[in-house]
Chains A and B, each alone.
Chain A
């Protein structure tokens, strides 16, 4: 879509007019063949907006607004569909970080304007990818999370197919005697209510339940997922729009807990087994059926233990308190001991902890378990060390209950059987839990349109699983709704661009199909990428990876950035005005630069910033362009990568860093020192460090001297 001639505007408000010579700046667009820019001290005000709106009404379709950061006032400078708006950041990017009326400030503003003009010239309003989509939500796993997700989706108006491997719904909660309290005053174990929940599902007309069933295959993309399910009645195929995986957890294998006595006495059981033993009301020890009058609960059995599960399973503290209540309710003379690392009973659960703690027959202590030994009379001896008493405590009990933690069911795999080039499972982060951006987008997985909910995603109890699943169901609906109008989900929510590929130049190198963090590309036998645009999250990693430069977006492509680099004016060497190109990820680094502006951090006026969707979209050719043009150094700002990554696209900054590793050779051929390129991990709150990072880099560049190519560049 072409919008015709570009109409430039220069806002002189917010200090811009005081920082730069606007009359001189106005010559830049004119030199590029654009009309004389309009000025106003307050373009975001009613009067200023009217000036722009009048131009739009008169037919202007492409606006270049040189004012503040594109991250501000986006709604106000939106003049409707079909009107392209390009923003040039003269405020945070220039006036607020540079010396006013300085020649270098002026040159910075002029370059920013030139780069903006080129960007506007080289891009188009994206044409969205729109297909007729199916909006049914598939929920895999019919425990409390799956039930809650199904009910939430159905009540929001979606059709739901709920697939459960067992003969009936209910999952783990159905096996429980009681659940811990969720209602005021939070003092007594409650009925699980799972049967009522199952009834609700049965009564919900929009939900179709398939039990004793297994997903055999899922192929396609959001809105177009083709699902094969095998059940008692045979195999059936249908199409869905999005998927919620709520396959829950499996208790940590007690066989691995021999050091806590499991397997050495029948009277050492897990919390899951104890639940079944409690149903009848009287608790008997398995060895001889004697009533258990003393029960020791050993917390963190296999959890928070580097040799087992290193994480907290989150439900065991409350479960043991609840089971201690079973013990005490069964017999007032019975004793329940709880040996813990820390009691973790957040929020209102604290009321139940207090209630159980107040019970005369419940004995708590922080402790490490030193030994669990079966005794001749069937009892079990438990020795605890490092207790709160300062001495070892030894108790003789009828029954030992191991508060075993949870492992994600995703670890087993096989629940979704995705027909994806990158594999059949949701990519995992740690301990088998599905990967997502755990701070910003916890429900998201790295498979667009597929959401993990409940204990499969993170250790959680049934109460949290309910709300978690409801959230995931709404995310699933949001995904199909956005997809149906060609829009992306997080992190570039609403983006309608998608990768376009010139297949005739593809060398089947598979870099795009391997590197896409979301597994957007499938592959044919030869290795040709088969894009699934609705899986795309628009990070541009494929574009950055492609050595042939054949992947582009309507409004973001290799040539656009290359042209912006070429638009930077390079002063002759003798002027001693070095030029450093900055590539900044738009998710954290760009906001950090804006923060630097807001807090008036002084930055070197010699930097020229280009914002990228993700550092993963960084094409190596841009570095080539920069150095052959005479740029003296390049700074890359991306998010933290690694185990505790912050990258909004999980792998983007890590991939960029990897590509940097291969850069040395290329630069060596150009006789450019590899130190002229520097990679920095930056979080938004690191804006205070920006001045120092950039200052240090400028000193380094000064020490190395100018880019040797400068004299050859025009």
Chain B
């Protein structure tokens, strides 16, 4: 929006924010109550007052490359106290939604993830790939005998699909973060003597303990849901990698015994993640609005997570109950959803973890996010 020093408000950006949760952004009359009640903003140049103004002026560049937008944890304290009903928390969420699209590399992926019209086509991609793989390996018939998922998809076959997908996701994430970081540095260069290691360390500690969430008032309950899911997710991530190590290094094959430590960690993680997301979903549906308005971004992300966990748990239960038809179908769905989550992670709300982490590191390095 900046050309020759002139501000040129981006009407399309304002429309995008309004569509993606920031419908009331123009109502702000700059009283700054939001910045006063916010417990997570830095004292100097606090948000979200100035972000509201930037949003009203359609200043896309300043918002998409702002670390402050990500320091916000969507507590909703600002929205609860806004005298004008401008819902600053929703507006910042809308800015983040717009960022998922605008920061995405390749950007076309961001655009596809941003609209419901593309949902079925992008869901069809993993289905088609997995069916293709299945057809080319051993046909679509159900394997005989004890239920063993590696009979359907041998591990080498799964890895041959998911390792490239993982590489794609990691590469896209790296490029998106790089774009974001460069943008942040362009708007506000980091000091030369910035201590990056300390910034990373601070950020990790902060994330592990969910310190920012603890400061929320209006939406204080969310901390527990997020924490349960967060640690459950980490446990599952470790489990997945351990299973790979078992397979390739120790030659221990799945299904693992229920008392195997890796299996136990996986089951524990699944239960925690399930409980966490259930909590989130229930509060989204039955809450009194303290979670803010939910957008397409929120629901696709939450539901993809929830269905992934449900199908994961379902696969295990169906296997233990010895219901082959059910087990293999649910497992197929589970793999599809994992593909969906993994491949589209850098372009969906899932990517908030990397943008927020990057913004927190940047802010600490800039001396702006001290505790």
- Chain A: residues with CB nearer than 8 A to chain B? 333, 335, 343, 354, 357-366, 381, 388-390, 393-396
B29 within 8 A of A: yes
Task: Compute how far the CA of A394 lies from the CA of B26 in the bound complex, rounded to whole angstroms.
Answer: 21
Contacts of A388 in B (CB 8 A): 30, 50, 53
Contacts of B58 in A (CB 8 A): 360, 363
Smallest CB–CB gap between B68 and chain A, Å?
A: 13
Asked whether B18 lies within 8 Å of A390 as measured between CB atoms, the reply is no
Contacts of B11 in A (CB 8 A): 333, 335, 360-361
Contacts of B30 in A (CB 8 A): 366, 388
Contacts of A361 in B (CB 8 A): 9, 11
Contacts of A396 in B (CB 8 A): 4, 6, 8
Task: Compute how far the CA of A362 lies from the CA of B54 in the bound complex, rounded to whole angstroms.
Answer: 13
Asked whether A364 lies within 8 Å of B9 as measured between CB atoms, the reply is no
Q: Which of B8-45 contact A (CB under 8 A)?
A: 8-9, 11, 14-15, 18, 26-27, 29-30, 45
Known: A357-B27, A358-B26. A390 touches B6 (CB 8 A): no
In the assembled complex, 17 residue pairs joining A and B whose CB atoms fall closer than 8 Å, in A order, are A357-B26, A358-B27, A360-B11, A363-B9, A363-B57, A366-B30, A381-B6, A388-B30, A388-B53, A389-B53, A389-B57, A390-B45, A393-B7, A394-B5, A394-B6, A395-B7, A396-B6
Smallest CB–CB gap between B46 and chain A, Å?
A: 11
- Chain B: residues with CB nearer than 8 A to chain A? 4-9, 11, 14-15, 18, 26-27, 29-30, 45, 50, 53-54, 56-58
Cβ-defined partner of B27 (8 Å) among A354, A365, A390: A354
Task: Compute how far the CA of A395 lies from the CA of B57 in the bound complex, rounded to whole angstroms.
Answer: 11
Cβ-defined partner of A389 (8 Å) among B4, B15, B29, B50: B50
Known: A358-B26, A358-B27, A388-B30. A365 touches B53 (CB 8 A): yes
Asked whether A360 lies within 8 Å of B26 as measured between CB atoms, the reply is yes
Smallest CB–CB gap between B63 and chain A, Å?
A: 12
Contacts of A390 in B (CB 8 A): 45, 50
Contacts of B15 in A (CB 8 A): 360
Smallest CB gap from B3: residue in A: A396
Smallest CB–CB gap between A599 and chain B, Å?
A: 39
Smallest CB gap from B26: residue in A: A358
Between A363, A381, A394, the greatest number of chain B beta carbons within 10 A of the residue's beta carbon is seen for A363
Known: A388-B30, A390-B45. A363 touches B6 (CB 8 A): no
Between A354, A359, A360, A395, the greatest number of chain B beta carbons within 10 A of the residue's beta carbon is seen for A360
Smallest CB gap from B56: residue in A: A363
Smallest CB–CB gap between A102 and chain B, Å?
A: 59
Task: Compute how far the CA of A357 lies from the CA of B57 in the bound complex, rounded to whole angstroms.
Answer: 11
Task: Compute how far the CA of A365 lies from the CA of B6 in the bound complex, rounded to whole angstroms.
Answer: 15
Smallest CB gap from B29: residue in A: A357
6 smallest CB-CB distances across A and B, nearest first, come from A358-B26, A396-B6, A360-B14, A394-B5, A388-B53, A388-B30
Task: Compute how far the CA of A326 lies from the CA of B11 in the bound complex, rounded to whole angstroms.
Answer: 18
Known: A335-B9, A395-B7, A396-B6. A360 touches B29 (CB 8 A): no
Contacts of B29 in A (CB 8 A): 343, 357
Smallest CB–CB gap between A265 and chain B, Å?
A: 16
Asked whether A395 lies within 8 Å of B6 as measured between CB atoms, the reply is yes
Task: Compute how far the CA of A380 lies from the CA of B53 in the bound complex, rounded to whole angstroms.
Answer: 23
Between A358, A366, A390, the greatest number of chain B beta carbons within 10 A of the residue's beta carbon is seen for A358
Cβ-defined partner of A394 (8 Å) among B7, B45, B50, B54: B7
Between A343, A381, A389, A394, the greatest number of chain B beta carbons within 10 A of the residue's beta carbon is seen for A389
Smallest CB–CB gap between A318 and chain B, Å?
A: 15
Contacts of B7 in A (CB 8 A): 393-395
Smallest CB gap from B28: residue in A: A357
Contacts of B57 in A (CB 8 A): 363, 365, 389
Smallest CB–CB gap between A607 and chain B, Å?
A: 52
Contacts of B56 in A (CB 8 A): 363-364
Smallest CB–CB gap between B87 and chain A, Å?
A: 13
Task: Compute how far the CA of A360 lies from the CA of B54 in the bound complex, rounded to whole angstroms.
Answer: 12
A360-B14, A366-B30, A395-B8 are known; give 11 further A-B pairs, CB within 8 A: A357-B26, A357-B27, A357-B29, A360-B26, A361-B11, A363-B56, A363-B57, A364-B56, A389-B54, A393-B7, A395-B7
Smallest CB–CB gap between B124 and chain A, Å?
A: 35
Asked whether B6 lies within 8 Å of A360 as measured between CB atoms, the reply is no
Task: Compute how far the CA of A335 lies from the CA of B8 in the bound complex, rounded to whole angstroms.
Answer: 10
Contacts of A343 in B (CB 8 A): 29
Task: Compute how far the CA of A389 lies from the CA of B51 in the bound complex, rounded to whole angstroms.
Answer: 9
Task: Compute how far the CA of A343 lies from the CA of B53 in the bound complex, rounded to whole angstroms.
Answer: 16
Smallest CB–CB gap between B285 and chain A, Å?
A: 29
Task: Compute how far the CA of A343 lies from the CA of B27 in the bound complex, rounded to whole angstroms.
Answer: 14
Task: Compute how far the CA of A412 lies from the CA of B5 in the bound complex, rounded to whole angstroms.
Answer: 45
Contacts of A360 in B (CB 8 A): 11, 14-15, 18, 26, 58
Contacts of A364 in B (CB 8 A): 56
Task: Compute how far the CA of A335 lies from the CA of B6 in the bound complex, rounded to whole angstroms.
Answer: 14
Contacts of A389 in B (CB 8 A): 50, 53-54, 57
Smallest CB gap from B24: residue in A: A358
Contacts of A381 in B (CB 8 A): 6
Smallest CB–CB gap between B66 and chain A, Å?
A: 12
Contacts of B50 in A (CB 8 A): 388-390
Contacts of A393 in B (CB 8 A): 7
Smallest CB–CB gap between A152 and chain B, Å?
A: 37
Smallest CB gap from A379: residue in B: B6
Contacts of B9 in A (CB 8 A): 335, 361, 363
Task: Compute how far the CA of A364 lies from the CA of B11 in the bound complex, rounded to whole angstroms.
Answer: 14
